[in-house]
């Protein structure tokens, strides 16, 4: 079954690289640059996994995560916070909201599919 990914990232180059990598591996990927657009997208696109940046224009990734987790149908959706911010407070908040936490700089695109299949 095709796995659906929603990637919330405002950096155009990063989102297109992830898009290319995951599409080639057979994922269905939807990328949006803001958390507000992501909230609209999930009304029509039910992701299996969310890849989430923290610093976004407007609502932050962690604010989005809080709203997302309050929706009954997304309580158990896998969320991977995927950021360059390595702040303890963010890691703790992400973990509290049942999300995983990864630093972009420590990964390369070819490692992404393995990360998505890790659970």
Q: Footprint of other proteins on this chain (CB under 8 A)? A: 11, 13-14, 17, 20-21, 24, 55, 84-86, 88, 104-105, 108-110
Q: Sort 5 into a burial class: Cβ within 10 Å, 0-12 / 13-18 / 19+.
A: buried
Q: How far is CA 93 from the centre of its chain?
A: 15
Number of other residues whose CB lies within 10 A of the CB of residue 109: 12
- Least Å distance between CB 53 and other proteins? 8
Q: Decide whether 14 or 115 has the Cβ nearer to other proteins.
A: 14
- Least Å distance between CB 110 and other proteins? 6
Residue 56: what are its φ and ψ, rounded to 5°?
-135, 155
Q: Decide whether 78 or 104 has the Cβ nearer to other proteins.
A: 104
């Amino acid at each position: 079954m095709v796995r659906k990914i929603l990637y919330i990232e405002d950096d155009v180059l990063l989102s297109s690289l992830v898009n290319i990598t995951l599409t080639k591996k057979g994922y269905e990927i939807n990328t949006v640059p803001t958390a507000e657009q992501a909230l609209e997208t999930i009304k029509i696109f039910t992701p299996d996994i969310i890849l989430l940046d923290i610093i976004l224009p407007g609502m932050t990734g962690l604010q989005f995560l809080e709203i997302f987790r309050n929706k009954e149908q997304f309580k158990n959706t896998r969320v991977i916070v995927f950021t360059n911010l390595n702040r303890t407070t963010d890691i703790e908040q992400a973990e509290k909201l049942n999300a995983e936490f990864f630093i972009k700089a420590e990964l390369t695109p070819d490692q992404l599919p393995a990360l998505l299949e890790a659970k």
